[in-house]
A and B are shown apart, each in its own frame.
Chain A
Amino acid sequence: IAGITQAPTSQILAAGRRMTLRCTQDMRHNAMYWYRQDLGLGLRLIHYSNTAGTTGKGEVPDGYSVSRANTDDFPLTLASAVPSQTSVYFCASSGGTGGHEQFFGPGTRLTVL
């Protein structure tokens, strides 16, 4: 693979179910991010990780959790999905905090019914 991948591409989920969105990058980037994008709103940061083994909360972390066991993978888990979590989810990575742009995965379109 080259770049950053996400799975699944799309998912319809019943409310109350647990769901993990996967994200993998092969660019050896230290920093990784999870955003949600909703119509009329800017990208909102859910969680981030500046380096393997560390994570932090973004603007909208409630209802979501992440882990960063290694450099390449950064899964996002919805412990008990609710309809307000219906959104497009983007994973991104960057080579560092100083002057480095973020590269985005193709996104996961999640619908919670």
Chain B
Amino acid sequence: GQNIDQPTEMTATEGAIVQINCTYQTSGFNGLFWYQQHAGEAPTFLSYNVLDGLEEKGRFSSFLSRSKGYSYLLLKELQMKDSASYLCAVRDSNYQLIWGAGTKLIIKP
């Protein structure tokens, strides 16, 4: 079966750094996506990794290791507006996205 695992909830302090992990087992791999979803809103695209390594985009970075079936999203200089759920999704051999349940990130002042 196909499976995406990420922690259910994490708490971090404003101004700090947090790493959200994602492990996956899928039938094929054609890229990994991270999305942000604020409560009551639609998911919005954050990052895309298809090759091993780190992709940096401002305060957000995403890392991929295909051999380990592992990715993480790194958020630096946390702001209160970063309080949201972060969704990991893998595109499988059929080019469909398989989604994790999401990690709810709580930022405390």
Contacts and interface: CB of A to CB of B under 8 A. Distances in A.
A74 interface: no
Contact of A44 (B41, B48, B99): B99
Contact of A45 (B30, B43, B87, B97): B97
A43 B100 CA distance: 8
B100 A104 contact: no
Interface string B91-108: 100011111111000000
Interface residues on A, range: 10 to 19
Main secondary structure of the interface of A (DSSP, over half): loop
A44 B100 CA distance: 10
Given A99-B31, A101-B33, A107-B42, A43 B48 contact: no
Interface in A54-113: 58, 90, 97-99, 101-107
Given A41-B101, A42-B99, A58-B96, A99 B48 contact: yes
Interface string B20-49: 000000000011010000000111110010
B50 A104 contact: no
Contacts of B101: 40-42
Contacts of B64: none
B4 interface: yes
A105 B98 CA distance: 18
A4 to B, nearest CB: 9
Contacts of A58: 96
Interface in A1-56: 40-45, 48
Interface of B: 4, 30-31, 33, 41-45, 48, 50, 87, 89, 91, 95-102
For the complex of A and B, the 7 pairs showing the least CB-CB separation, nearest first, are: A42-B99, A104-B42, A97-B95, A101-B45, A43-B99, A42-B101, A104-B43
Given A104-B42, A105-B42, 15 more contacts: A40-B101, A41-B101, A42-B100, A43-B43, A43-B89, A43-B99, A44-B99, A45-B97, A48-B96, A90-B42, A98-B95, A101-B45, A101-B48, A104-B43, A104-B44
